[in-house]
Amino acid sequence: MDYRLELLDEDTFEKLVNRICQGMLGMGVISFAPGKDGGKDGKFIGKANNYPSEKDSWNGKFIVQAKHTANPIASCSDSDFKKTVGEEIKKVNVLKSAGDIDCYLIFTNRKFTGISGDDLVKKIQRETGLENVAIIGKESLNDLYINPNKDIIKEFKLDLLHIPFDFSEEEIKDIILEFHKELPKIKTSLEAEVNRIKFDFDRVKIEEKNKKNQLSKEYYENEILSHSLQDFEKIESFLSDTRNEEFKEQYFDIAAELRNLIQLKRTNFASFEEIFIFIFKKVSDGNKLKGKRHIFTLLHYMYYECLIGVK
């Protein structure tokens, strides 16, 4: 489960990091008050309990830093984070000159992107002379240190900040990219098809469906009817094309996955449009995805086809 750590304030995130360090390093972790930290938010001296492993734990003077961001799609490859690391290297060198650091840990709620993240670790090692350096991103924070620890979840009330559900977002991206590429080739008699589809909407008693699913009249009229409806026939043409059989299979697979997840997690959302927006953000955030507007169109089409939502 992923927790929305971007919703924490910086002080709480620092406390969370030091609480995690009590488990991985030891109870002797010292927390520093908010303010100019001189390159440290936490400190520990001794042999780590289990970092990076129980068999080969680091030993010495540990300096812990917590680097929080309110940006939910931030990553370690962002230029502002690289700049921050560059500034912290200067502070680390001051600590090293004074003999106050052997091991350096940076915790952040940013995505740890493999190549960029590893390059930053090597940069710190190279420019400080420290061997024991690690950047721990939000994936490791969630998977290794928060999810297995119910006490931490309870203490920091992280259960109120969890992401409602995960799904195979890459499959939606694949479909959107291919649909966006094929869209100029798909020809329809737009006015006739829109009228036909409007008739179909009446036939399935869409108002009743919207009421059951708590989809507002405003959203239905302003988003689905006004913006997505005109492309429904194009999606149908795209999926019925034998050349797109693989994408058609992906479409029905992801629709089945979303249908079950939405049914299980429905109480995490008030209106159904919140579900559309959540899925859109999950697929598109942090990605330069061409045609991302079609994510909404595809989701609205699934809803129209009664593949998601209560019939």
Q: What pLDDT does 117 receive? A: 92
Q: What pLDDT does 191 receive? A: 47
- Burial of 135 per CB tally in 10 Å (0-12, 13-18, 19+): buried
Domains of the chain: residue spans and CATH: 5-161 (3.40.1350), 169-304 (no CATH)
What is the rounded CA–CA span in Å between residue 271 and residue 240? 31
Q: What pLDDT does 4 receive? A: 85
Q: What pLDDT does 158 receive? A: 87
pLDDT in tens, 236-262: 999 888 888 988 998 999 999 999 989
Q: In the chain, which stretches have pLDDT less than 50?
A: 189-192, 199, 203
Q: What pLDDT does 186 receive? A: 64
181 phi, psi to nearest 5 deg: -70, -40
